[in-house]
Amino acid sequence: MALSSRLRNLLGIALADKAGAVELVTAVDAAANGTPTAPSAAVAAITVTATTGVLPTANGTVTVADAATPTVVELLDYCTELKAKVAAINAVLLAQGLTQ
Domain extent listing, the chain: 1-37, 43-100
CA-wise closest residue to 85 among 63, 59, 65, 66: 59
CA distances from 15 to 49, 60, 66, 76, 83 (A): 25, 17, 26, 20, 12
Q: Which SS3 state, helix, strand or coil, does residue 63 take?
A: coil
pTM of the model: 0.56
d(CA 35, CA 2): 12
SS3 content of the chain, % helix, strand, coil (to 5): 50, 0, 50
pLDDT in tens, 6-51: 666 666 666 556 666 666 677 667 766 666 556 667 777 788 888 9
pLDDT in tens, 45-69: 788 888 999 989 899 999 999 999 9
